[in-house]
C-alpha cells in the first residue's frame, strides 16, 4: 500500500495540480456567504406539486418530517413511488456516508451503476469524486453523499423539476438530520432545485451560496464529476480542487 502523502500527490495530479503542492500555511480566506445573485424566480416556471396523501404511493410528508434518524427516514421513504422515477428504478439510492459528517455532497441523481448497487457515486464519477476528496484530505467515509432524486432517471437524463421537487422534502429532512457544516453541490441541478439558483454552473461555481435552513448553511457549487470526466482539462480539474479546498477551509475555520 502506498503511503498517504503519495496518495495525496497522486490525487492532486489527477485533479490537474502538478508539482508538489504544499499544505496551505496561511489562514484560508474566510469565504463571504452571499445570498444568491439576482435572478429570475424558479417558481415562475414551476408547477406546484400537491403532496400525495396516498400512503400506498408515498409516505405522508408529516411522517417524513417526524423521522428521528437517517435510518428511520430511509425506512420511511424507500418504497416511495411518488414520481414516475420510482417505477423505473432497480434500487432506491438513499445516500451514504458518515451520519456525523460536516461536509455533505449533493449530486443530481443515480446513474446506472448506482441504480444497480443502491449506492450513490459508485461508477467512474464516483471514482473521480473519491480522488477529489483525497485531494482535500478526506476519504469517502469522512463525508456524506446523496442526490437530489433517489431513483434513477431513465437514460441518465436530468430529473424534471417536478420529479426533483417531489423528492425534495426527503432531501431536506436528510439535511435536517445530518446538520452539515457545509454543502457542496455537484453540477447545476442541485443548485437549481435546492436553492433556486438558475445561473449556469460554469459562471457560479466557486461562489458561496447559502441554504436557508438550520440558520443558514454555506453552499459551495462546483462541477459534477461526470462533467469533469467529459471535460478532462487541467483548468476544470483545478477549478474543482479550488472549490473543494474552499469548502474544507470553511470547515477548518468553523469547528463544531
Ligand atoms: S425519485 Fe424521489 S419522489 Fe420520485 S419515486 Fe424516487 S424517492 Fe419517490
pLDDT in tens, 191-238: 999 999 999 999 999 999 999 999 999 999 999 999 999 999 999 999
| Ligand 1 binding residues, C-beta < 6 A | 58, 77, 80-83, 85-86, 149-151, 163, 166-167
Neighbours of 43 (CB within 10 A): 9
H helix or E strand, kind and range, residue 201: helix 201-204
Candidates 199, 181, 188, 198; CA nearest to 222 is 188
Q: Supply 105's cell numbers.
A: 455532497
Sign of CA dihedral 73, 76, 82, 86: positive
Instruction: At 42, list the grid cell.
Output: 424558479
Residue 27 has pLDDT above 50, yes or no: no
Q: Does residue 116 register a pLDDT over 60?
A: yes
Q: What is the distance in A from the centroid of ligand 1 to the CA of 28? A: 39
> Which DSSP symbol is given to 19?
S
pLDDT tens digit sequence for 235-253: 999 999 999 999 999 999 9
Q: Domains, the chain, ranges and CATH?
A: 4-16+54-253 (3.40.470.10)
* Site to substitute for ligand 1 among 73, 146, 167, 172, most atoms within 8 A of C-beta: 167
Q: Which residues pair with 96 in a beta bridge?
A: 145
More confident residue, 39 or 226: 226
Residue 250's pLDDT is what? Answer: 97
Q: Ligand 1 pocket test: which of 109, 118, 146, 150 has the largest number of ligand atoms within 8 Å of its C-beta?
A: 150
Percent of the chain with pLDDT over 90: 75
pLDDT one-digit tens code per residue, 50-107: 445 565 677 899 999 999 999 999 999 999 999 999 999 999 999 999 999 999 999 9
Number of residues that this document lists for the chain: 256
Strand 182-186 and strand 217-222: pairing? parallel
pTM attached to this predicted model: 0.84
Amino acid at each position: 500500500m502506498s503511503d498517504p502523502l503519495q496518495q495525496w500527490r497522486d490525487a492532486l495530479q489527477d485533479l490537474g495540480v502538478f508539482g508538489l503542492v504544499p499544505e496551505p500555511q496561511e489562514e484560508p480566506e474566510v469565504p463571504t456567504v452571499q445570498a444568491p445573485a439576482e435572478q429570475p424566480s424558479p417558481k415562475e416556471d414551476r408547477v406546484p406539486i400537491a403532496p400525495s396523501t396516498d400512503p400506498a404511493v408515498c409516505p405522508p410528508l408529516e411522517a417524513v418530517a417526524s423521522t428521528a434518524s437517517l435510518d428511520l427516514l430511509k425506512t420511511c421513504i424507500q418504497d416511495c413511488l411518488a414520481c414516475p422515477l420510482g417505477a423505473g428504478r432497480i434500487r432506491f439510492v438513499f445516500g451514504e456516508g458518515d451520519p456525523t459528517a460536516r461536509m455533505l455532497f449533493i449530486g443530481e441523481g443515480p446513474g446506472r451503476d448506482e441504480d444497480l448497487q443502491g449506492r450513490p457515486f459508485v461508477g467512474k464519477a464516483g471514482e473521480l469524486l473519491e480522488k477529489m476528496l483525497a485531494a482535500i484530505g478526506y476519504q469517502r467515509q469522512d463525508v456524506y453523499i446523496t442526490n437530489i432524486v433517489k431513483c434513477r432517471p431513465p437514460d441518465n437524463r436530468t430529473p424534471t423539476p417536478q420529479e426533483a421537487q417531489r423528492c425534495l422534502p426527503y432531501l431536506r429532512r436528510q439535511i435536517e438530520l445530518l446538520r452539515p457544516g457545509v454543502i457542496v453541490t455537484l453540477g447545476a441541478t442541485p443548485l437549481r432545485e435546492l436553492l433556486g439558483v438558475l445561473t449556469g454552473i460554469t459562471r457560479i461555481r466557486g461562489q458561496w451560496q447559502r441554504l436557508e435552513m438550520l440558520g443558514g448553511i454555506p453552499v459551495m457549487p462546483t462541477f459534477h464529476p461526470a462533467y469533469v470526466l467529459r471535460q478532462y482539462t487541467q483548468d476544470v480539474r483545478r477549478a474543482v480542487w479550488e472549490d473543494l479546498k474552499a469548502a474544507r477551509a470553511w470547515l477548518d475555520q468553523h469547528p463544531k
